[in-house]
Structure 1
Amino acid sequence: MTTPAVLLLIPASSYRTHDFLEAAHALDLEVQVGTDQSQVLAEVVPDRTLVLDFFEAEIALAAIAELHSRHPLSVVLGVDDESVELAAQANQRLRIPHNSPTSVSLTRDKFWMRQCLAKAGLASPGFQRFSVASDPETLRDSIRYPCVLKPTFLAASQGVIRADAPGEFNTAFRSLQELLADPELQKRGGERAKWVLVEDYLPGLEVSLEGVLTDGCLQTLALFDKPDPLTGPTFAETLYVAPSRLPETVQQCVRKAVEQTAQALGLTTGPVHAEARVHQGKVWMLECAARTIGGLCSRMLAFSGGMSLEALILRHALGRDIQTAQTISNACGALMLPVPKDGTLHTIAGWDTVREISGVEAAVQSLPNGTAVRTLPHDARYLGFVLVREKTPAAVETTLREAWTQLQVEID
Structure 2
Amino acid sequence: MSELASESSTLSEGDDRPRLLLIGTGGQQYREYLLGSIGRHYRVHLLSTAEPTWERQHVTGWTVVDMRDTLAATELTAAARELGDDEPLAGVLAWDEARVLQAAKVAEALWLPGGDPDTAMRCRDKHLTRAALEKAGVPQPRSVLVSDVDEALATAESIGYPVVLKPRAMAASLGVVRVDSPAELKERFAFARDITIPGAWRYDQVLVEECVTGEEISVDSAVHVGEVHPMFVARKQIGYAPYFEEVGHVVDGADPLLADESITQLLHDAHLALGFTDGMTHTELMMTADGPKVIEVNARLGGDLIPYLGLRATGIDPGLAAAAVACGESPNVTPTRRLAGAVRFFYPDHDDTEIGAVDLDVDSLPTRPDRFVVLAEPGEVMSPPPKGTLFGRVAFATAVADGPRQCLDTLAAVRSALTIRAPAAAGGGR
TM range (shorter): 0.7 to 0.9
Cα gap change, 1:300/1:284 in structure 2, threshold over 3 Å: closer, same or farther?
A: same
Work out which of the residue numbers 14, 17, 24 in structure 2 matches 1:3: 17
In structure 2, the partner of 1:302 is 311
Which deviates more, 350-359 or 373-382? 350-359
Q: For the Cα contact (< 8 Å) 1:276–1:287, is it kept in 2?
A: yes
The structural deviation recorded for 1:342 is 3.1
In structure 2, distance between residues paired with 1:10 and 1:85: 12
In structure 1, the partner of 2:249 is 240
Cα gap change, 1:156/1:324 in structure 2, threshold over 3 Å: closer, same or farther?
A: closer
Q: For the Cα contact (< 8 Å) 2:283–2:298, is it kept in 1?
A: yes
User: Aligned letter for 2:208?
Assistant: V
In structure 2, distance between residues paired with 1:395 and 1:42: 33
In structure 1, the partner of 2:269 is 260
**Residue 61 in 1 paired to residue 77 in 2?**
yes
In structure 2, the partner of 1:346 is 355
Secondary structure of 2:245's aligned partner:
coil
Work out which of the residue numbers 201, 207, 211 in structure 1 matches 2:211: 201
1:3-402 pair list within 5 angstroms: 3-10=17-24, 16-27=30-41, 29-38=42-51, 48-54=62-68, 55=70, 56-98=72-114, 100-131=116-147, 134=148, 136-137=149-150, 139-143=152-156, 144-179=160-195, 188-189=200-201, 192-226=202-236, 228=237, 232-243=241-252, 251-302=260-311, 308-323=317-332, 325-338=334-347, 340-347=349-356, 349-351=358-360, 353=362, 357-358=366-367, 360-377=369-386, 379-381=389-391, 382-402=393-413
The structural deviation recorded for 1:285 is 0.8
Cα gap change, 1:177/1:330 in structure 2, threshold over 3 Å: closer, same or farther?
A: closer
The structural deviation recorded for 1:14 is 7.0
In structure 2, distance between residues paired with 1:255 and 1:365: 37
The structural deviation recorded for 1:325 is 2.7
The structural deviation recorded for 1:391 is 1.1
Which deviates more, 35-44 or 261-270? 35-44
The structural deviation recorded for 1:25 is 2.3
User: Aligned letter for 2:40?
Assistant: A
The structural deviation recorded for 1:244 is 7.8
Cα gap change, 1:342/1:34 in structure 2, threshold over 3 Å: closer, same or farther?
A: farther
User: Aligned letter for 2:65?
Assistant: V
Which deviates more, 259-268 or 347-356? 347-356
The structural deviation recorded for 1:49 is 2.9
The structural deviation recorded for 1:364 is 1.2
Which deviates more, 108-117 or 303-312? 303-312
CA RMSD, Structure 1 to Structure 2 (Å): 3.1
The structural deviation recorded for 1:233 is 0.7
In structure 2, distance between residues paired with 1:12 and 1:211: 20
Q: For the Cα contact (< 8 Å) 2:175–2:193, is it kept in 1?
A: no
Cα deviation code 1:372-395 (max 9, x no counterpart): 434434532333321111112222
Q: For the Cα contact (< 8 Å) 1:298–1:309, is it kept in 2?
A: yes
Cα gap change, 1:252/1:224 in structure 2, threshold over 3 Å: closer, same or farther?
A: farther
TM-score normalised by L of structure 2: 0.83
The structural deviation recorded for 1:202 is 1.1
Q: Unaligned 5+ residue runs, structure 1? A: none
Q: For the Cα contact (< 8 Å) 1:302–1:327, is it kept in 2?
A: no
Q: For the Cα contact (< 8 Å) 2:316–2:332, is it kept in 1?
A: no
Cα gap change, 1:69/1:200 in structure 2, threshold over 3 Å: closer, same or farther?
A: same
The structural deviation recorded for 1:336 is 2.5
Cα gap change, 1:14/1:151 in structure 2, threshold over 3 Å: closer, same or farther?
A: farther
Q: Number of paired residues?
A: 401
In structure 2, distance between residues paired with 1:70 and 1:372: 47
The structural deviation recorded for 1:283 is 0.6
Q: For the Cα contact (< 8 Å) 1:209–1:275, is it kept in 2?
A: yes
The structural deviation recorded for 1:162 is 0.9
Cα gap change, 1:357/1:46 in structure 2, threshold over 3 Å: closer, same or farther?
A: farther
In structure 2, distance between residues paired with 1:305 and 1:194: 41
Cα deviation code 1:289-319 (max 9, x no counterpart): 1111213333223379966321332234334
In structure 2, distance between residues paired with 1:107 and 1:7: 22
Which deviates more, 248-257 or 154-163? 248-257
Q: Percent identity?
A: 23
